[in-house]
A and B are shown apart, each in its own frame.
Chain A
Amino acid sequence: MVEAVGSVAVNPAHLRVSHITKRFAGAPAVDDVSFDVPKGSFATLLGPSGCGKTTTLRMIAGFYDPDVGDIEIGGRRVNDLPAHRRGTAMVFQDYALFPHMTVYDNVAYGLRVAGRPRPERDKRVNDTLAFVGLSGMGGRWPNQLSGGQQQRVAVARALVIEPQVLLLDEPLSNLDAKLREQLRVELRILQRRLGMTFVYVTHDQDEALSLSDWIAVMNAGKVEQAGTPWEIYYHPRTAFLADFVGAVNLVPARVQSVTDGGVTVSFGQHRASVHRPVDVSLSTGQEVRLCMRPESFTIAPAGASADGLALSGTIARRAFLGDTMRYWVKVDDREWIVDQPDPGATATLDGPVLLSLRPERVHIIAEQ
């Protein structure tokens, strides 16, 4: 299975991973994984811990050897190249700054190894430090920097050698939430400006959605689904995916009829006509699951008029999340998660309510 990366799919693959498998003590950590990453795109491997995403990244870097499969960078097979000849620089989760070198020396290290002359080195190091917002910090020691600054040094150190592919292994996970969001934005801007190919590993779906051109969601050593953030979020192919990326209502349902444009499904006493997913075949009577995002609903006091699919229920619990109010609404025997944006704009609801949602917001998952 070779996936093309969404919007930039016109470019030829810059990084190609073909059917790689890696076993540790017999158990496959990565199991027949393939994907292409075009030049200049931001690709993300997303998944829970132990899913094989970091192992995949480390195989690209050359720290692990795949048992089976090939890795190509810029059209050249790199399996037999040692890690330091691959043109892949890595940003590590714990930054891995050299504690006995100043910021300048850390950033200059790769250029020094490459034997670049001093004037060039100075210029490139200083330019890169300025680029990541650390001008004038070259003389500092890593332990004198904040977590965010260390992270920037780690990025600068990898960027300065102008790698073919920049590999980032959960680079933001050691930072507090606020800083993480800020650096997320900066990383994305940086990548766009440089047009460099990034392969990013994270378990944080928000990070993956907000940063990436393309996401591969991994589970148990396999790529569960790959595609644009939009596809991953709204058209997950499996229940695992739907559940892993964002909060979701997964409701068992049965296919009643299939037409060209739509599918009629039933769940409980409800019936709904929803969009037919493009790349799955459905047949009448088939068991499926409906995937509905909490924010796709409109919630109103009972008796309000509904638009599209309407469900009557009672509020069981609620949680104030700041930007949204999350309700758990009991409909028949099932609790539905429903988010109401901007809770300050309306009164907090209680008791019987009416949920409504547009049929096109319902996504059918046909796995099982």
Chain B
Amino acid sequence: MRSLRREPALLLALLAVIALVLAFIVYPQVQVVVAPGPGGYVSFLEGGTWTGPLVHSLEVMALSTTTAVLLGFVYAYAMVYSEMRWKPFFRLIGILPLLSPPFVVAAAYVLLFGPRGIITYGVFGQTPIIFGLLGIWGVQTIAFFPFAYQLIADALSRSDARMEQAARNLGAGPWRVFRTVTLPLSRPGLGAAILTTAIYIVEDFGNPQLVGGQFTVLPTQAYNLISGFGEFTSAAAVSTLLLLIALALYVAKIRLDGGRSFVTISGRASSMPRPPVPAALSWACFAGCLLLAGLILMIYGTLLVSAITVLFPINLTPTARHFTFVATGSNADALRNTLVFSGVAALVSAILALFAGWIVQRGDWPGKGILDFLFILPAAIPGIFFGIGYLTAFNQPWLDWVDRGWLIILSMVFWNIPVGYQASVAGLRQIDRSIDEAATSLGASRLRGFWDVIRPMLAGSLRVGLVTTFVRAVTTLSVVIFLFTPATTVATIRIYQLVNDLNWGGATAFTVADITMAILALVVFAALARGRLALGMARG
């Protein structure tokens, strides 16, 4: 504390950071929570309209998390432990879903399995009802198992290969080692992976909205209340309910892994070779991964084929008309908005997060634990809630002079700030405090030391923040769905609208363009990181 008083510039910087957190993380969320008021909550709770969506949300969470985690575990185990072939290929396929808006799985699902779906109708001649619980379950399983895979693979690869070598050396077989050494050691990581997957699923908005039909979950109910009925108070209450669930999961997750959030990014640490597994197991893994990778490829293949043919699946004549459609008029504006908003948001978010991580991690003032918590809090806030918060707080007449694009940018900046913040803190943990002190003892103020010495050393963390924030910004729907105006529409919004209009060609072409943007960003940053592959987590 005294050290802050001696360095007014540092104190000012800290106050600025605190002000930003209060204005853009705390204030909007509090606005939503208090919006209904005590009376509003009472009548909302008595009204009972929330019980159905709540039960649905929990149902969907339980079902989808179970299946997504199971499939993700198979994929992760195969990637980390087996000696199957084609690992680089499977790794690449596993990344693809992270670079796309999760709800496009729903779109592909309708094309494949819907009443006129290529498989259901085309192959089997059936017109099944695919909307509802089963639809959401199937779609979320496919959409989120790659996320579960990333999280689980990360947890598994953190287990020390030397322990496993030692257990093998003491005479245990591969299964026994896995059961008695690997699993117990990675249990916190696996638990955190399951909880994180559950958060992604319970706050998923796009998929339930597209295939849920009458089966309403909390995020879709909140959206429908506002967009359909202008029932803002009830929507705030519903999304507060959703927030409570997500927060509970998140707090449990933090207790398991100490808040070492996202899998995200950066080349996975090369570890010591794992003890060999039986050849038959490797082949089983290969078969499993082939199946799952096939599923992913089928989803994205469908989107791609639909984007380049006249009317999928009826008229498969190649055409560029959908892309022409995407590249003209307001659609082109939406694409440009996506690029500009996400780019600016990524830049601002990553730089701010880097500095915030430093000022908090290296701080020695009271209350830094609270600030730390507030910086990772947005990771627990459902996108729909975050969006409503920004809508409530900033969509105000007195802010009319501000371009509404900034609202979207700010929401992206602060909704994603935990990514860059965690990356910064993780990076700083690798840098001994004596480096900061060396700069200080040579005459540099702490801010100057940060700029000259620490900032360049955190280049990797900065890249992680940049690419992940960019990808998440490009692929988010729920955060921006309340914030866009005709002039500030972004790609995910347009995809959503086009799917609702049943303009499949346009929607899929837009999706391809959007994913391409994310892939390009990834490739550019991977190149900047000298070949080290960066992965980004996106969510609905």
Contacts and interface: CB of A to CB of B under 8 A. Distances in A.
A65 B6 CA distance: 11
B452 A109 contact: yes
Contact of B448 (A98, A113, A157, A167): A113
A321 to B, nearest CB: 35
Interface stretch (A76-84, A260-268, A338-346): A76-84
B456 interface: yes
Interface string A279-291: 0000000000000
A178 interface: no
A93 B444 CA distance: 20
A94 B434 contact: yes
Residue with the greatest number of chain B CB neighbours at <10 A, chosen from A62, A109, A167: A109
A109 B436 CA distance: 13
B4 to A, nearest CB: 10
A114 B444 CA distance: 8
Interface string B398-440: 0000000000000000000000000000000000101101111
| Contact-residue bracket for chain A | 20 to 34
Nearest to B449: A84
B443 interface: yes
A109 B438 CA distance: 10
Given A94-B434, A99-B457, A109-B452, A158 B441 contact: yes
Contact of A114 (B438, B439, B443): B443
A291 B443 CA distance: 46
A110 interface: yes
Interface in B434-483: 434-435, 437-446, 448-449, 452-453, 456-457
Contact of B2 (A65, A96, A109, A113): A65
A157 B442 contact: yes
A270 interface: no
Interface in A96-141: 96-100, 109-110, 113-114
Interface of B is mostly: helix
A89 interface: yes
B317 interface: no
B455 to A, nearest CB: 10
Contact of B437 (A81, A83, A110, A157): A83
A157 B182 CA distance: 46
B434 A100 contact: no
A96 B438 CA distance: 6
Nearest to A66: B2
A85 B446 CA distance: 11
B231 interface: no
Contact of A96 (B432, B448, B452): B432
A110 B443 CA distance: 6
A29 to B, nearest CB: 15
Nearest to B444: A113
A109 B435 CA distance: 13
B3 interface: yes
B437 A89 contact: no
A208 interface: no
A234 interface: no
B6 A89 contact: no
B3 A109 contact: no
A100 B457 contact: yes
A195 B233 CA distance: 75
A96 B440 contact: no
Nearest to B443: A113
Contact of B432 (A84, A88, A94, A161): A94
A82 B7 contact: yes
B434 A83 contact: no
Residue with the greatest number of chain A CB neighbours at <10 A, chosen from B2, B437, B439, B457: B437
A92 B445 contact: no
Given A80-B6, A96-B434, A90 B452 contact: no
8 contacts: A82-B445, A89-B442, A98-B438, A109-B439, A109-B444, A113-B448, A113-B452, A158-B442
Interface of A: 61-63, 65, 80-85, 88-90, 92-94, 96-100, 109-110, 113-114, 157-158, 161, 167
Given A82-B440, A82-B446, A100-B457, 18 more contacts: A65-B2, A81-B6, A82-B6, A83-B441, A84-B443, A90-B441, A92-B434, A92-B438, A96-B434, A96-B435, A96-B437, A96-B438, A98-B438, A100-B453, A109-B444, A110-B443, A113-B439, A113-B443
